[in-house]
Amino acid sequence: EAGVAQSPRYKIIEKRQSVAFWCNPISGHATLYWYQQILGQGPKLLIQFQNNGVVDDSQLPKDRFSAERLKGVDSTLKIQPAKLEDSAVYLCASSSQGFEGNTIYFGEGSWLTVV
Amino acid sequence: AQSVTQPDIHITVSEGASLELRCNYSYGATPYLFWYVQSPGQGLQLLLKYFSGDTLVQGIKGFEAEFKRSQSSFNLRKPSVHWSDAAEYFCAVGARNFGNEKLTFGTGTRLTIIP
């Protein structure tokens, strides 16, 4: 079974530039998550999709971050304009039906450095 | 709101020694509890999870964890560590709210293994 795919793996941009990350979840997984992991901290949920609808984006900085999941499959997370404090690993994860009997699978992450 | 505390930022143990990583959670209902491991440059891998039933949970790679409701704890243990266990370990609590499920992570414990 193929895992959660993310690209690009590494990105360096200057502040005020824009960047986009792509995620392809495990086939058939209805739920997709984007987490932000700042160095030395645990992952923090940015946004959660159920199919192509948003179910939780309470911690997404909407003035600069946006995310979409077209057709309930792939997802894109965009940052525009980037700030220095956005330097982090952006983890995409997916799951099929929820906690019981299921697992949330994580991708390897997209590492962003803003200079 | 749910939260997780991992009091130990960094732990060093000798190869072959036993290991215990501490995790305390805060959640108003019966929690879903998880331990994930993250190797350098990698995504998160699920070690084990607790939903209900037996409070001693077995996971992959020889890890186990014990849920203690009275102490709000879910400590991770391994009787004999291997050099390959060196990684970052994250405890997480899962909350179900109106059918939406999300994970809240602790800040992690970095494990170093010395020969």
- Which residues have CB under 8 Å from B85's CB, separation 6+? B19, B61, B78, B111, B113
Q: How far is B51 from chain A (nearest CA, A)?
A: 7
Compute the average pLDDT of residues A108-114.
95
Place of tokens 């792509």: A22
B103 interaction partners in chain A (CB closer than 8 Å): 43, 45, 104
Compute the average pLDDT of residues A13-35.
95
Inform me whether the pLDDT recorded for A82 exceeds 70.
yes
Q: How confident is the model at residue A35 (pLDDT cuts 50, 70, 90)?
A: very high
Asked if the C-beta of A42 comes within 8 angstroms of chain B's C-beta atoms, the answer is: yes
One-letter amino acid at A23 equals C
Q: What is the pLDDT of residues A1-17, one digit of tens each?
A: 679 999 999 999 999 99
A108 interaction partners in chain B (CB closer than 8 Å): 41-43
Interface probe for B, chosen from A57, A99, A113 (most Cβ of B below 10 Å), is A99
Compute the average pLDDT of residues A104-109.
91
A104 interaction partners in chain B (CB closer than 8 Å): 46, 103
C-alpha distances (whole Å) from A106 to each of A77, B13, B37, B42, B110 are 15, 27, 11, 9, 19
Q: How confident is the model at residue A101 (pLDDT cuts 50, 70, 90)?
A: low
